[in-house]
């Protein structure tokens, strides 16, 4: 005779500990184990020690009075007055004071143009025309000499307008050059392949500063007697050649990742070499390397700060120009540095966020 087993339900288990919300997050992320708790205590302790000090210096005891005596008083922290006093010199360099609305308008135009080129609405055939118009407007505004604007020579251009102009123009010129060089490095023609390889390896092997030295000291020797080229153009050419070599390597990475079937299919459809490259290979290869190209753009923006070593006063250089010769304000250079650090950071950070967005855009085809 078999025992009948009567089903009895187990007592209900206790409700699980809450796993969402602030307190569980703190419990698992800050005090997960004893090592983690110890780390939290040490790191938080250091932060609590240093951050209030910085905050005290930068905000609480800081002064925004643009009077050097007020900054020298006891117990005064950061002296933001130096920015208030010198911001026009820092932002516009040696550009004539009364005319500084011109670089302001020109730079706003150019930034507007770049931002427009980055948004989907403007991706149509008129964009090229817009570029030509805005660039022409930029140079008319900056150098003047027409329409009643007084002439301003390029050695007086400086500050943020110069930084943004150097970045934008060299970027626009470097990109097509990089495309050609990248294609050239994968060409079947040995002469073209070796020229492109030598160019890329040579440029990537030397620092930008030596290229800039070459542009500013050696280039005058290269030109025939009587021909002089403005130093701005020379430096622009140097930066462009430098940036193009790095960009070409990134693009080549994309080209190499393309499966061979793509170009074979294009060939069997009877497309020519250039049709194959521009209609089949490059659109796919470039989409793959968008993050790399954006990184190139960001480093190009940062690299423009190097032109200050060959005596062009872009943002970094114009800060030195503004403060080095002024004994009253010289001690507050740190505040000035923090100011332009903020500017550089804002631009670079915006670019890197944009890079994430555009990466998502070009990968849409892969997300079904």
Partner 1 sequence: MAVAPRTPPKKRDWSWRSQAFRGLLYQIIAVLLIGGAAWFLAHNTAENMRIRGIQGGFDFLKSPAGFDIGESLFHFDSNDPYWKAFAVGVSNTLRVAIIGIILTTILGTLIGVGRFSRNGLVRGLCQAYVELFRNVPVLLQLLMWYLLFTELLPEIADARHIGPFFLSKGGLSFPVPEWSSSHYFTMLGGLIGLGAAWWWRGRTQKRFEETGQLGSMFLIPAAIIIAAALAGWVAGGMPTTWIVPKKGEFAVEGGGSLTPEFMAVLMGLVLYTAAFVAEVVRSGIQSVARGQSEAAQALGLSRGQEMQKILLPQALRVIIPPMTNQYLNLTKNSSLAVAIGYPDVVSISNTALNQTGRAVECIAIIMLVYLTTSLSTSFFMNWYNAKSAIRER
- In the complex, which residues of this chain contact partner 1 (CB under 8 A)? 25-26, 28-30, 32-33, 36, 39-40, 43-44, 188-192, 195, 202, 204-210, 213-214, 217-218, 220-225, 298, 302-303, 305-306, 308-309, 316, 331, 333-334, 337, 340-341, 344-345, 348-349, 352
When the beta carbons of 36 and 197 are compared against partner 1, the nearer one is: 36
When the beta carbons of 144 and 331 are compared against partner 1, the nearer one is: 331
Judging by beta carbons within 10 Å of its beta carbon (0-12, 13-18, 19+), is residue 287 exposed, middle or buried? middle
Closest approach, Cβ 5 to partner 1, in A, equals 36
When the beta carbons of 126 and 222 are compared against partner 1, the nearer one is: 222
When the beta carbons of 14 and 75 are compared against partner 1, the nearer one is: 75
Closest approach, Cβ 157 to partner 1, in A, equals 19
Within 13 Å of residue 5, how many CA atoms lie on the same side as its CB? 3
When the beta carbons of 143 and 304 are compared against partner 1, the nearer one is: 304
Q: Rounded to a whole number, what is the largest CA-CA distance in the chain? A: 120
Closest approach, Cβ 133 to partner 1, in A, equals 31
DSSP category for residue 13: P
Cα 252-258-261 angle, rounded to 5 deg: 140
Q: How far apart are alpha carbons 290 and 363 in whole angstroms?
A: 10
Q: How far apart are alpha carbons 306 and 322 in whole angstroms?
A: 17
* Distances, alpha carbon 142 to alpha carbons 83, 134, 165, 357, in Å: 24, 12, 11, 33
Closest approach, Cβ 114 to partner 1, in A, equals 18
Closest approach, Cβ 11 to partner 1, in A, equals 31
Token pair recorded at residue 237: 């050419």
Closest approach, Cβ 174 to partner 1, in A, equals 18
When the beta carbons of 141 and 250 are compared against partner 1, the nearer one is: 250
Token pair recorded at residue 216: 């500013």
């Amino acid at each position: 005779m078999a025992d009948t087993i009567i089903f009895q339900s187990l007592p209900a288990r206790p409700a699980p500990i809450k796993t969402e919300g602030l307190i569980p997050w703190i419990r698992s992320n800050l005090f997960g184990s004893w090592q983690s708790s110890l780390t939290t205590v040490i790191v938080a302790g250091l932060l609590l020690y240093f951050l209030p000090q910085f905050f005290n210096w930068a905000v609480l005891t800081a002064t925004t009075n643009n009077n050097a005596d007020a900054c020298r008083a006891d117990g005064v922290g950061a002296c933001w007055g130096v920015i208030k006093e010198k911001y026009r010199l820092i932002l516009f360099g040696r550009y004539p004071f009364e005319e500084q609305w011109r670089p302001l308008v020109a730079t706003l135009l150019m930034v507007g143009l770049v931002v427009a080129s980055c948004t989907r609405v403007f991706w149509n055939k008129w964009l090229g025309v817009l570029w030509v118009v805005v660039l022409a407007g930029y140079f008319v505004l900056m150098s003047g000499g027409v329409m009643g604007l007084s002439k301003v020579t390029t050695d007086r251009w400086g500050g943020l307008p110069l930084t943004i102009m150097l970045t934008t123009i060299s970027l626009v010129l470097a990109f097509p050059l990089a495309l050609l060089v990248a294609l050239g490095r994968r060409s079947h023609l040995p002469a073209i392949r070796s020229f492109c390889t030598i160019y890329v390896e040579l440029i990537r092997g030397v620092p930008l500063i030596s290229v800039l030295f070459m542009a500013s000291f050696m280039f005058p020797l290269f030109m025939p007697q009587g021909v002089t080229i403005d130093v701005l153009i020379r430096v622009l050419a140097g930066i462009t050649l430098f940036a193009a070599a790095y960009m070409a390597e990134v693009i080549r990475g994309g080209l190499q990742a393309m499966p061979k079937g793509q170009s074979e299919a294009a060939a069997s459809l009877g497309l020519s070499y250039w049709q194959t490259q521009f209609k089949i290979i490059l659109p796919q290869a470039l989409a793959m390397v968008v993050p790399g190209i954006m990184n190139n753009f960001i480093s190009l923006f940062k690299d423009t700060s190097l032109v200050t070593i060959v005596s062009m006063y872009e943002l970094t250089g114009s800060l030195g120009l503004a403060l080095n010769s002024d004994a009253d304000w010289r001690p507050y250079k740190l505040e000035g540095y923090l100011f332009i650090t903020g500017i550089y950071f804002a631009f670079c950070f915006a670019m890197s966020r944009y890079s994430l967005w555009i990466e998502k855009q070009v990968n849409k085809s892969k997300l079904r």
